[in-house]
Amino acid sequence: MVATVSVSDNHLRSQIFDLLCQVPDPEIPVVNIVELGIVRDVLADPQQVIITPTYTGCPATHFITQMIREKLDENGFDKMEIKNQLSPAWTTDWITPEAKVKLKAYGIDPPAMSADKHAQACCPRCNSTNTKLISEFGSTPCKALYSCKDCLEPFDRFKCH
């Protein structure tokens, strides 16, 4: 398949990827939808952006589709289709290491890799792992609520999913 992709197709794909990197997650604006693993692929023929929802009922999903549409239209890619693909199901393992650093700086403990999912939560403020779970379900479907037993601050943890 790779052999059939022409240079101009590769150019188009990287252009689109660059644009999509400018679309932030509506709930956690420090990270973009590419580094969260929501954008799965960009195809040149047929022109398609393939995205996948994080959680089936996540209200941000519709909003993200709208933001991608606007971004593409503004830049003259109005022919580019947006296609939702469910399988393979989204996993937090697709979040890039750079995005995990940004999440932590923003005050959210980033998800562990699924192979390591029982790792203790780590306080994003003081780095202590002396933490406790307050609620497995937090302010958005992707987060759980913890508190740090050393600095006593509550914090969100991105659930390993």
Neighbours of 79 (CB within 10 A): 9
Beta bridge partners of 144: 157
The residue among 153, 158, 142, 147 whose CA lies nearest residue 109 is 158
Residue 57 vs 97, nearer CB to other proteins: 57
136 touches other proteins by CB under 8 A: yes
Taking CB under 8 A as the criterion, the residue among 107, 137, 152, 154 binding other proteins is 137
Beta strand pairing status for 39-44 and 47-51?
A: antiparallel
* Interface of this chain with other proteins, residues 42 to 61, rule: CB under 8 A: 53, 55-59
How many residues belong to the site for other proteins (CB under 8 A)?
21
Contact call for residues 144 and 156 (beta carbons, < 8 A)? yes
Helix (H, G, I), strand (E, B) or coil at 46: coil
* Interface of this chain with other proteins, residues 78 to 97, rule: CB under 8 A: 85-90
135 touches other proteins by CB under 8 A: yes
Where on the chain is the footprint of other proteins (CB under 8 A)? Answer: 53, 55-59, 85-90, 134-139, 141, 145, 161
